[in-house]
Amino acid sequence: MMRITVSPRFEKRYKSLPKRIKEKAKEQELLFRKNPFDPRLKTHRLTGLEKEAWAFSINYFYRIKFIFLTDDEVLFLDVGTHEIYK
């Protein structure tokens, strides 16, 4: 089971999400904990300056950006729409 730590930025941005997005994020997080590469998450590596980071989908518009700390531990960096990639 994947262990998750969150950054202060992630915490702040998560609190400002709409309630329905928070609920969907919790569902997706459960999938992620079991298998970070579950096809329903659309997990993908980022490119360019973000090449060390990954992201998975909450829904079509919202994403969670993260890095792997170990094989079974990640740090959630940010959450939001595509602006999190900038």
| 54's tokens | 């990954």
- pLDDT tops 80 at residue 85: no
Predicted confidence (pLDDT) per residue in 45-78, tens digit:
999 999 999 999 999 999 999 999 999 999 999 9
Q: Which domains does the chain have, with CATH numbers?
A: 3-85 (3.30.2310.20)
For residues 31 and 42, what is the distance between their CA atoms, to the nearest angstrom?
11
Q: Could you tell me which of 17, 20, 30, 86 has the C-alpha nearest to residue 56?
A: 30
What pLDDT, in 10s, does the model give residues 5-39? 999 999 999 999 999 999 999 999 999 999 999 99
Q: Give, as one character, the DSSP assignment of residue 43.
A: -
- pLDDT for 21: 97
Q: What's the pLDDT score for residue 84?
A: 84
